């Protein structure tokens, strides 16, 4: 049963309206969308590293007109004017190999040399070449990225949903902050009107000798207090409206009128089910795995960049040179290249061991931190799910107390007007009425905040029994 206030108001905005406004138009809502788009394009960039890359490179033109020293047959140096152009153009198709960290490529390169002083032109053409480059014993960043980046992308998608649920939770808090102040302002207005009416009745009773001067003065003081409370409540409502409008992006210079929401959905949620859904849906689960993998990757990187560094490069193809481009395709000659380069540290005074040990200790620290955060996360989910039943019971009791307090006040006021109760009894009934009304709003706020907090913690809609997924 909703309190009398909820039935008497004709509000223009509901909680769902304000949440939708915040998600679609607020700065925090747009920031969540931007973060999600950034993660998507980062994922696209990662995927592109494992797909063939086609590139055109060259130097065209490469003209030079200088005087350069030329060593003569007798060992002397003569300075000769040189006017040449040495251009090249190549097309390469390459493919990274994530499993090994190497690269395979197919390419074609043509070079042209012009000596304008000697009226000489030569072409060097490599129409086809295939080769590969393979690091040996080094850190394979591509392989580790294949394990980490998919987790990071899935984590970002879940984070987007969590951010939206967190925004809904924050909007709910601000919504009820304003609603409570509006309730206070409405109660203060009603109290001021009722106190003014009581003062008018009291003045008539005083003239008839049926009310003491002390009680009359108390009625006047009550009216002043009620008017001050009304003014303060209006100021508090305006400040709360500013906070809500700033966060949600609601337009307008006046405070919006808010509806008292119906009780939040209260399906039975076993804590074990909530924990199972949280482990399955939350980004934290992926983040824990990602952080552990990153710690292991850092250890592998420390080992792969401090010991033996070797690289094997090989290619084969066809090549020829001639005075014109067409002739370079005739009588092509085989070309093979094989090269192994390496660096072996012979004495580093413990540098390699220190780097690896530091990475290992950092990994161990990350494992302990993740384990602790996992326990805290599980406890938060279990505690939140376990509170729902108690919050629902508290809301039902608060609603009942609000109805009873309102009825008691109406009866007490009517009894006071006929002179059968004291002013103190009326004041106590009025305070109880106001406190019960505020208590109902507080209980309603707690239920709605807990509702959205559990959704954010589990990414699961227990009302509809379905996971909460990101809208495309």
For 367-389, how does the pLDDT look when each residue is reduced to its tens digit (9 = 90+)? 999 999 999 999 999 999 999 88
Residue 388 sits at φ, ψ, to 5 deg, of -60, -45
Tell me the average pLDDT across 147-160.
Answer: 93
Q: 472: pLDDT confidence band, cut at 50, 70 and 90?
A: low
- The reported pLDDT for the residue numbered 319 is 92
- The reported pLDDT for the residue numbered 249 is 85
Q: Does pLDDT of 423 surpass 80? A: no
Share above pLDDT 90 across residues of the chain, in percent, rounded to a whole number: 53
- Between the alpha carbon of residue 330 and those of residues 121, 322, 324, 325, the distances in Å are 18, 9, 11, 10
Task: Look at 63-72, 159-168, 428-437 and tell me which has the smallest mean pLDDT.
Answer: 428-437
- The reported pLDDT for the residue numbered 253 is 64
Going by C-alpha positions, the residue among 87, 110, 123 that lies closest to residue 323 is: 123
Q: Does pLDDT of 35 surpass 50? A: yes
Three-class SS state of 309 = strand
Tell me the average pLDDT across 270-291.
Answer: 93
- The reported pLDDT for the residue numbered 349 is 87
Q: Does pLDDT of 427 surpass 80? A: no
- The reported pLDDT for the residue numbered 286 is 93
- The reported pLDDT for the residue numbered 1 is 37
Q: How far apart are CA 256 and CA 12, in angstroms?
A: 7
Q: Does pLDDT of 133 surpass 90? A: yes
Q: 217: pLDDT confidence band, cut at 50, 70 and 90?
A: confident
Q: Does pLDDT of 63 surpass 50? A: yes
Domain with CATH 1.20.1600.10 in the chain: 4-47+143-300+353-467
Tell me the average pLDDT across 229-233.
Answer: 85
Tell me the average pLDDT across 40-62.
Answer: 93
What pTM was estimated for this model as a whole? Answer: 0.81
| Cα-to-chain-centroid distance, residue 442 | 29
* Highest mean pLDDT pick, 298-302, 414-418, 425-429, 468-472: 298-302
Predicted confidence (pLDDT) per residue in 96-120, tens digit: 998 888 999 999 999 999 999 888 9
Going by C-alpha positions, the residue among 20, 129, 112 that lies closest to residue 62 is: 112
Q: Does pLDDT of 10 surpass 80? A: no
Q: CB neighbours (10 Å) of residue 101?
A: 19
Assess contact for 423 and 219: CB atoms under 8 A. Answer: yes
Q: Does pLDDT of 275 surpass 70? A: yes
Given phi > 0 = left and psi -120 to 50 = alpha, else beta, which region is 331? left
Q: CB neighbours (10 Å) of residue 172?
A: 23
| CA within 13 Å, CB half, 169 | 17
- The reported pLDDT for the residue numbered 9 is 45
Predicted confidence (pLDDT) per residue in 311-363, tens digit: 999 999 999 998 888 888 888 899 999 999 998 888 888 888 999 999 999 99
Q: Does domain 4-47+143-300+353-467 have CATH number 1.20.1600.10?
A: yes
Tell me the average pLDDT across 275-287.
Answer: 92
- The reported pLDDT for the residue numbered 213 is 84
Three-class SS state of 33 = helix
Going by C-alpha positions, the residue among 147, 226, 145 that lies closest to residue 186 is: 226
- The reported pLDDT for the residue numbered 7 is 39
Question: In whole numbers, what is the pLDDT of the chain averaged over residues?
Answer: 88
Given phi > 0 = left and psi -120 to 50 = alpha, else beta, which region is 119? left
- The reported pLDDT for the residue numbered 438 is 87
- Give rounded-to-5 percent helix, strand, coil for the chain: 60, 20, 20
Q: Does pLDDT of 426 surpass 50? A: yes
Task: Look at 90-94, 205-209, 240-244, 337-341 and tell me which has the smallest mean pLDDT.
Answer: 205-209
Q: Does pLDDT of 433 surpass 90? A: no
């Amino acid at each position: 049963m909703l309190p009398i206030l909820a039935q008497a108001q004709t509000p223009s905005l509901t909680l769902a309206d304000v949440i939708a406004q915040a998600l679609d138009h607020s700065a925090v809502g747009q920031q969540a969308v931007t973060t999600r788009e950034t993660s998507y394009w980062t994922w696209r960039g990662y995927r592109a590293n494992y797909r063939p890359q086609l590139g055109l490179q060259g130097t065209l033109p490469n003209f030079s007109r200088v005087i350069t020293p030329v060593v003569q047959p007798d060992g002397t140096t003569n300075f000769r004017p040189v006017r040449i152009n040495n251009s090249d153009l190549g097309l390469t198709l390459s493919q990274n190999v994530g499993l090994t960290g190497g690269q395979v490529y197919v390419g074609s390169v043509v070079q042209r040399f012009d000596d304008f002083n000697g009226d000489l032109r030569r072409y060097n053409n490599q129409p086809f070449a295939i080769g590969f480059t393979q690091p040996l014993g080094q850190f394979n960043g591509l392989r580790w990225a294949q394990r980490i980046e998919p987790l990071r992308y899935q984590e970002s998608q879940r984070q987007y949903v969590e951010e939206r649920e967190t925004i809904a939770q924050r909007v709910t808090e601000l919504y009820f902050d304003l609603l409570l102040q509006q309730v206070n302002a409405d109660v203060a207005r009603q109290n001021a009107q009722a106190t003014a009416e009581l003062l008018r009745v009291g003045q008539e009773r005083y003239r008839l000798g049926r009310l003491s001067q002390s009680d009359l003065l108390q009625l006047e003081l009550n009216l002043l207090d009620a008017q001050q409370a009304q003014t303060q409540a209006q100021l508090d409502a305006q400040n709360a409206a500013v906070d809500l409008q700033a966060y949600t992006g609601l337009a307008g210079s006046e405070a919006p009128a808010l509806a008292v929401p119906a009780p939040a959905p209260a399906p039975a949620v076993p804590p074990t089910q909530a924990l199972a859904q949280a482990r399955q849906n939350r980004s934290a689960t992926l983040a824990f795995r990602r952080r552990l993998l990153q710690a292991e990757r850092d250890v592998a990187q420390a080992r792969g960049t401090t010991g033996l560094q070797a690289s094997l490069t090989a290619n084969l193809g066809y090549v020829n040179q001639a005075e014109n481009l067409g002739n370079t395709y005739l009588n092509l000659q085989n070309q093979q290249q094989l090269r192994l380069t390496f660096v072996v540290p012979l004495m580093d005074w413990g540098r390699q061991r220190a780097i690896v040990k530091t990475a290992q200790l950092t990994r161990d620290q990350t494992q302990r931190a993740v384990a602790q955060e996992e326990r805290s996360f599980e406890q938060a989910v279990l505690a939140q799910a376990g509170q729902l039943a108690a919050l629902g019971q508290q809301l039902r009791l608060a609603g009942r107390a609000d109805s009873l307090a309102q009825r008691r006040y109406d009866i007490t006021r009517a009894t006071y007007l006929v002179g059968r109760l004291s002013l103190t009894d009326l004041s106590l009934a009025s305070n109880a009425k106001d406190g019960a009304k505020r208590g109902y709003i507080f209980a309603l706020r707690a239920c709605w905040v807990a509702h959205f907090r559990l959704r954010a913690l589990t990414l699961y809609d227990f009302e509809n029994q379905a996971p909460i997924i990101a809208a495309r």
